[in-house]
Structure 1
Amino acid sequence: MSRFASLFQRLEERGEGAFVPFLMLSDPSPEDALEIITTVVDAGADALELGVPFSDPVADGPSIQLSHVRALDGGATVDKALEQLRVLRERYPDLPIGLLNYANMAYVRGLDRFYAEFAAAGVDAILLPDVPVREAAPFSAAAEANGIEPVYIAPHKAAEATLKAVAEHSRGYIYAVSRDGVTGSEKQATVDGLREVVDGIRTFGGPPVMLGFGISTPKHVSDAIAAGAVGAITGSAINNIVSKYIEYTHPNPGRVTDWDGLKAELTAYVQEMKAATRNQEA
C-alpha cells in the first residue's frame, strides 16, 4: 500500500482528515527550506506537497510566485531540490510526499529520467498543473513505470468527461480545485459543488479527493472534509507566514530574520489547521 493510501486509511479510522501544507524547496535557501519544512511536519502536518522552483509558475498566485523567485535568486536547481528530498525522506521514512512541478522540467530532463530521479529521492506523487488530463498518457505511463503516483486536477465545475479522465489517470489522490483562477488566499475557497465532484469521481472509481487553491482558514478545512474530501492543501497562506520572516530584495538571496518567530507562528498555524480535521465522522 502506498504512503498516501496508508495515511488516508489511518486517518479514516481515527475520524480525521488530512492537513497538507505546500512549501517551496530551496526557499530562501536549501538549508533554510529544510528547517522550515521540518517545522511544519513536527507541528503535525499529515503529508507534504512541495514545489520545485521554476521561472514561469503559471498556476501560482503572487505569494507562491514570490517563493519561486526567492529560491531561484538563492541559486535553486532541480538537483538541489532532489538533495533536499533525499534528506526529508531519510528524516521521515513514512511521511507521504507529493510534488508540484511544471511540465518543462519533465521535458528538459526526459520523462523517464525525471520520474526515476524523484522516485529515487523519495517522492510518492507528482502533480504537473500545466498538463491537462487529456494530455496525461505519456506522463502517467512514465510516472507509474517508476513508482510515482500521478496526480491530476479536477477543475472547478468540471464536465463529467473530464472527471472521468481525472479519475482514470490519477493515483494516490485527486487535487480538486475549489474555484477558478490561480493559487492564493486572496480569493477565498468554496466547497460549492465539491460534494458533486467527489461523488462524480467515486462513480468512476477514482482515488480520494483533496481540496486546494484558497484554503487558508480552519473553517475551509472542516468544510472541505465535511463535503467529502479526505483532506485539504494549504499553500499561499502558509507561504505568507514564511515571507513575513524573510528579508529579501530581488535579485539578492533572501535570509530568515527571526527563526524563533517563524517557527512559533508556523507551528501554531499548522496545529490550528490540523485541529480542524478532527472530530469528523469515521
Structure 2
Amino acid sequence: MNNHFNSTRNLQAWQRIEELQEALLIGYFVSGDPDVEKSLEIVRDSATAGIDIFEIGIPSANPYMDGAVIKRGHARVQAHAEEEAGHDWLMPYMTRLRQQQEEPIWAMGYKKELIEEGVALRLAEAGLIDGLVVPDASIEDQIKLQSAVAAHGVDVVGFVNDALPDEEMKRVCSALNILYAQLYTGATGNPLANSSTNLADLYARARTFTKTAMIVAGFGLRSGERVRSVVASGFEGAVVGSVLVARCETGEQDYLYRLISEMKENTTLADMKE
C-alpha cells in the first residue's frame, strides 16, 4: 500500500513493518511521568522492549476523556514536574525525548492545551513530533490543524468508530493520513469495557473510504491476546495506553517491559495464518 505521510519517521515506521510483515505497536505514556528523568528512561527501554511509535500525553489540568489511571498520571505530572523542572519544563523534556528516540513521537492531548494554547504548533515548528492526536477536536478542527502543521512534517491522527455516520467517516478518512479506530466509547482504560465492535467490520468500513491511510485501533487493549485480535482483523497498528501507565504508577518496570514484549510478539502477521 502506498501511503503519503507528512512525517518521514511515520513513513519509515510503516515501511519497516511492511517489510517485516508485522503491525505497529503504539504505546501511550504521560510526558514526565512519574518524573522527568524516569520518564525518559522508561521510554528508552520501552523502545527496546518493542514499542514502534510513542504517543506522548501532554499534561492537562482536565483530562476529562481519560480514565482513572491516565488521570492520575496527569495529576502526578501536574504536581511534580513544575517543582522539579520549572514552569516551562515541557519543551525541554520533549527536546530531550526527540534527541533520544528515533521512533515517531505523537503528541496526544486536549484541544485547550494543544490548539488553543498553541502547544501543538510550537512542538511542530521545533521539529519535536511526528503526529498529533487531539480526541476532543472536531473533524473540522483536525483538518485545520493538519493544514497548519503539514509543512513541519507532522501528521494529524483522525478518529473513527462504529457510531460515526458514513458521510463523516468519509470526510475524515479522505483528509488525514492516519486513522485511530476507537473500539468502544467512553473514557480510556475502563476495566469493565469489552468492545462489542466487530473489529474486522470496523476496519473494512473505514478502508472503503481510503486506500492509503494507516488505520490503527485502540481502547481496552490490555493483553497480548487483545493486540493479536486487532492485528488479525486487519489493522496496521495497535494502541496501548492505560495498562502501560498503570505500570509507571506502580514502578513495575520489569513487568512493563515484559508486557510490551509480549504485545509486540502478537503483532507478527505470519502468525495470524496459523
TM-score (norm 2): 0.87
Q: Look up the SS of the partner of 1:45 in the other structure.
A: coil
Distance change in 2, residues 1:108/1:163 (3 Å) = closer
Q: Does 1:160 align with 2:166?
A: yes
RMSD: 2.2
Q: Does 1:6 align with 2:6?
A: no
CA apart distance, 1:185: 4.5
1:100 paired residue number: 108
2:214 paired residue number: 208
CA apart distance, 1:180: 1.1
CA apart distance, 1:121: 4.2
1:196 paired residue number: 201
The one-letter code matched in structure 2 to 1:120 is A
CA apart distance, 1:12: 2.0
The one-letter code matched in structure 2 to 1:88 is L
2:121 paired residue number: 115
CA apart distance, 1:187: 3.3
Q: Does 1:20 align with 2:26?
A: yes
> Which runs of structure 2 are paired with 1:1-282 in the superposition (5 Å)?
2-76=8-82, 79-93=88-102, 95-110=103-118, 114-171=120-177, 173-190=178-195, 192-205=197-210, 207-245=213-251, 262-280=252-270
Per-residue CA deviation, residues 203-256 of structure 1 (Å, 9 max, x unaligned), is 2225111111111111111110111111111111111111112xxxxxxxxxxx
Distance in 2 of aligned mates of 1:215 and 1:279 = 18
Per-residue CA deviation, residues 56-103 of structure 1 (Å, 9 max, x unaligned), is 11221000000000000013488422222221222223x111110111
CA apart distance, 1:161: 1.3
The one-letter code matched in structure 2 to 1:48 is F
Distance change in 2, residues 1:115/1:264 (3 Å) = same
Distance in 1 of aligned mates of 2:184 and 2:67 = 13
Distance in 1 of aligned mates of 2:150 and 2:180 = 18
Q: Is the 8 A contact 2:215 2:237 kept in 1?
A: yes
Q: Is the 8 A contact 2:30 2:57 kept in 1?
A: yes
CA apart distance, 1:188: 4.0
The one-letter code matched in structure 2 to 1:271 is S
Distance in 2 of aligned mates of 1:4 and 1:225 = 18
Q: Look up the SS of the partner of 1:19 in the other structure.
A: strand
The one-letter code matched in structure 2 to 1:201 is A
The one-letter code matched in structure 1 to 2:96 is V
Q: Look up the SS of the partner of 1:163 in the other structure.
A: helix
CA apart distance, 1:168: 2.2
CA apart distance, 1:143: 2.1
CA apart distance, 1:116: 4.0
Distance in 1 of aligned mates of 2:100 and 2:37 = 14
Q: Look up the SS of the partner of 1:174 in the other structure.
A: strand
Identity of aligned residues (%): 25
Distance change in 2, residues 1:203/1:79 (3 Å) = farther
Distance in 2 of aligned mates of 1:165 and 1:123 = 25
Distance change in 2, residues 1:145/1:218 (3 Å) = same
Distance change in 2, residues 1:196/1:70 (3 Å) = same
CA apart distance, 1:151: 0.8
Distance change in 2, residues 1:79/1:138 (3 Å) = farther
